Each structure stands twice: as C-alpha cells, then as structure tokens.
Amino acid sequence: MLNDKTIAFLVAPEGIEQVELTEPWQAVKQAGGTPKLVSTKAGEVQAFNHLDKADRFPVDATVDEVSVADFDGLVLPGGVANPDLLRTVPGAVRFAKEFFDAGKPVAAICHAPWTLIEADVVRGRKLTSWPSLRTDLRNAGADWADREVVICTSGPNTLVTSRKPDDLKAFCQAAMDAFAG
C-alpha cells in the first residue's frame, strides 16, 4: 500500500504524546512505508504519556536538513508541549506548510493543528482536534467538528485530523489511505 513511500513525522525535542507517534509509525511500517523522525534538533526526542516522561526516540533528520521533496506525506503527533514548541520554530512551520503547498497529504492529531494554525493552512478547511483548540481553529478560519476523524479534501491536499489517542485506529486508517493516494 505504501511501498516506496516515505512519511515524515515532525516533532519537537520533547512533549510528544508517545502513542500518537508510535501507533501511526507502526501503521506506516505495516503498510510497507518508511517513517522518518524529523525534529528541530538532532539527537533524541523525549515522548510523554500525558504528563509523565516515556521513551526517547532517535531523530533521523532535522527540519533544516530535509526537503518536502524527500517525503510523500506528513504526520503531526500531538501532546500539548510538542506542537506548542513547533509553532515557535520558523523552520518547522515552513516544513509543515510546504506539504500543503506541494499538495501532499498531512495527518494531524490532538493538539497538532496548532502548528497548522501557525502555518496559516487551516482557513477554509474542515478538521477536528483536541477540544481546547476549537476556538483557535475557528479563529484561524477552519470549520471545526467534534468527530473521531475528519478527512478534508477541499484544499490543495488531503488533511486527516483526529481528536485524541482514543481515535488512533480511525486516524491511522484514514492517514494510510491518504498516503496511499
């Protein structure tokens, strides 16, 4: 399904909700794709289980070392601190925005749409998120819905969004379908 496709996972150095990284990562691998961990700094990133430190994961490349041309899609895991930090790093915001500019699919879960708000790519798009982002997304011009998964094709690319870890099964399936084309 994803043979010869490489999917970027963009994360901050810490604050990633671990299951929102590991489950989509496994889904990409099981579908025959190659996941790559991209961050704002080299080394390792620190994942969390809500507020508790969890595992560390090695970074494959930094946002300054890669190009959107190297990837077929993008996953933005959540966690509160992760997208909050990403949206303050111009290179990370640029990298996320370039997937929209290139018409490549993007999948974002939980708090991850904060990075997309900063990239100014949610205007006119339908999406979901963790409920606390509802007002932020609406203020940025998005049509927010409280659903397990929202697949929006009314823009330059396919955008898949989900609310929380409980939505991961539906999120992973929709994301793999989007990445498969």
All structural domains of the chain, each given as residue ranges with its CATH number in brackets, are 6-180 (3.40.50.880)
Catalytic machinery residues: 110-111
Give pTM, 2 decimals. Answer: 0.98
Closest CA to 24 of 9, 39, 14: 9
Structure tokens at 41: 């700094």
Supply the pLDDT for residue 113.
98
- As beta bridge partners, residue 143 has 126
Closest CA to 6 of 82, 83, 61: 61
Average pLDDT, the chain: 98
pLDDT band at 170 (very low <50, low <70, confident <90, very high): very high
Query: SS3 of 145, please?
Result: coil
CA distances from 21 to 3, 139, 143, 158, 164 (A): 20, 27, 25, 20, 12
Closest CA to 24 of 126, 130, 173, 129: 173
Supply the pLDDT for residue 6.
98
Supply the pLDDT for residue 14.
97
pLDDT band at 24 (very low <50, low <70, confident <90, very high): very high
Cα distance between residue 15 and residue 124, in whole Å: 29
Q: What is the mean pLDDT of residues 67-82?
A: 97
Supply the pLDDT for residue 119.
98
Q: What is the mean pLDDT of residues 42-65?
A: 97
Supply the pLDDT for residue 98.
98
Query: SS3 of 23, please?
Result: helix
Residues of the chain above pLDDT 70, percent: 100
Residue pair 180/2 in contact by the 8 Å Cβ criterion: yes
Residues of the chain above pLDDT 90, percent: 99
Cα distance between residue 78 and residue 146, in whole Å: 16
Reported as a single tens digit per residue, the pLDDT across 123-157 is: 999 999 999 999 999 999 999 999 999 999 999 99
Supply the pLDDT for residue 100.
98
Cα distance between residue 158 and residue 155, in whole Å: 7
**Distance, CA of 5 to chain centre:** 16
